Amino acid sequence: MNYLHNKTILITGASKGIGRATALELARHQVNLGLVARSGEELQALQQEVLQLGSACEVFAGSVADESLAQKAVAKMQDRFGRVDILINNAGYGNSKPFETFSEQEWDELYATNVKGTFLFSKAVAPGMKQQQSGHIIIIASDVAKRTFPTGALYCSSKFAQHAFGDAIRKELRPYHVKVSTVYSGLVDSQFHAEPQGDNSHSWWLKNEDMARSIVFIANQPAHVVIDEFMIHPLEQDY
Ligand SMILES: NC(=O)c1ccc[n+]([C@@H]2O[C@H](COP(=O)([O-])OP(=O)(O)OC[C@H]3O[C@@H](n4cnc5c(N)ncnc54)[C@H](OP(=O)(O)O)[C@@H]3O)[C@@H](O)[C@H]2O)c1
């Protein structure tokens, strides 16, 4: 069953990795996509692929830490398609080293993308979703939103913050029939890591397409079903 047909979906961090694969998987369901990332050329190339798959597509180049971009993207999607049905808060990056070696700027930049970006885009879609009494916010956190590792203080704490933010807005938005889902994943072979995507050391990791299929599964549920939390790992990764 395709519950996604004609739905309007905004994805942050769509130019690469999990977000890009999710955009392509969603495009096969005849949807209206809004794609956000800083790399405008990569977004434009992806837009052409989405159009060829039969879905409509707008692109928005800029940082998720910029509130005016969030407001502009949501307004444009509402103007062209009448509403935003689903927001996928996916943009994010990691950084791993002894915590005392992080600069104040590194802290601020990582929190601006991983935490503030999730806040700004959720804030931008919430009024419309409350008014239409339906909607779905999906947050791509990480399994390190529930566990930590040495040298991960900055990244793990930003993911714990996304987890807490999702938990709180789930309670706020449920009375308006707006769903909130948080995804906790283990290792994914994307451009996130120090080694390039496809590196031999990633051979047993999740693929971007595994994540895309999971995110589409979470999104493609009937109106009365919500997947609140979704934990996924490569079978060979301990959890
Ligand atoms: N890979 C893993 O093992 C793993 C595991 C668990 C969770 N995650 C989470 O999954 C999400 C996606 O990561 P990925 O693995 O797909 O990494 P990726 O391949 O590096 O892709 C990250 C995406 O986020 C975008 N992005 C980064 N900063 C941004 C900003 N300030 N504004 C707008 N877009 C921004 C990037 O686009 P531009 O550079 O063009 O802006 C890119 O499209 C992240 O939240 C990450 O924490 C990843």
CATH number of the domain that residue 29 is part of:
3.40.50.720
Phi, psi of 171 (to 5 degrees): -70, -35
Q: Is 30 within a domain?
A: yes
> Which atom belonging to ligand 1 lies closest to the Cα atom of 43?
40
* 184 catalytically annotated: no
How confident is the model at residue 219, as a pLDDT? 98
* 97 catalytically annotated: no
Number of structural domains the chain divides into:
1
How confident is the model at residue 147, as a pLDDT? 96
To the nearest whole number, what is the mean pLDDT of the chain? 98
Integer Cα distance of 74 and 117 in angstroms = 14
Over the stretch 224-236, which tens digit does the pLDDT of each residue have? Answer: 999 999 999 999 9
Integer Cα distance of 160 and 133 in angstroms = 28
Over the stretch 44-73, which tens digit does the pLDDT of each residue have? Answer: 999 999 999 999 999 999 999 999 999 999
Integer Cα distance of 13 and 36 in angstroms = 6
Integer Cα distance of 84 and 202 in angstroms = 35
Mean pLDDT of 104-119: 98
Integer Cα distance of 134 and 112 in angstroms = 28
Q: Above 90 in pLDDT, residue 239?
A: no
Q: Is 73 within a domain?
A: yes
The first and second tokens of residue 186, run together, are 């283990």
95 CB contacts (<8 Å, ≥6 apart)?
A: 102, 106, 110, 154, 155
As a three-state string, the secondary structure of 181-221 is EEEEECCECCCCCCCCCCCHHHCCCECHHHHHHHHHHHHCC
pLDDT band at 222 (very low <50, low <70, confident <90, very high): very high
For a ligand 1 pocket test, name from 35, 147, 188 the mutation site with the most ligand atoms within 8 angstroms of its C-beta: 188
Q: Is 239 within a domain?
A: no
Share of the chain above pLDDT 70, in %: 100
Over the stretch 11-20, which tens digit does the pLDDT of each residue have? Answer: 999 999 999 9
Q: Which residues, judged by CB distance below 6 Å to any ligand atom, belong to the binding site of ligand 1?
A: 12-19, 36-39, 42, 63-65, 90-94, 113, 140, 142, 185, 187-188, 190-192
How confident is the model at residue 88, as a pLDDT? 99
Share of the chain above pLDDT 90, in %: 100
> Which atom belonging to ligand 1 lies closest to the Cα atom of 93?
47
Look up the domain containing 150 and give its range: 8-232
The CA 160 to ligand 1 mean position distance, Å, reads 16
Q: Is there a contact between 35 and 23 (Cβ–Cβ < 8 Å)?
A: yes
Q: Is 238 within a domain?
A: no
**From 7, 116, 155, 184, the catalytic residue:** 155
Q: Is 67 within a domain?
A: yes
Q: Above 90 in pLDDT, residue 85?
A: yes
Q: What is the pTM of this model?
A: 0.99
For a ligand 1 pocket test, name from 184, 192, 210, 230 the mutation site with the most ligand atoms within 8 angstroms of its C-beta: 192
Q: Is 213 within a domain?
A: yes
Name 133's bridge partners: none
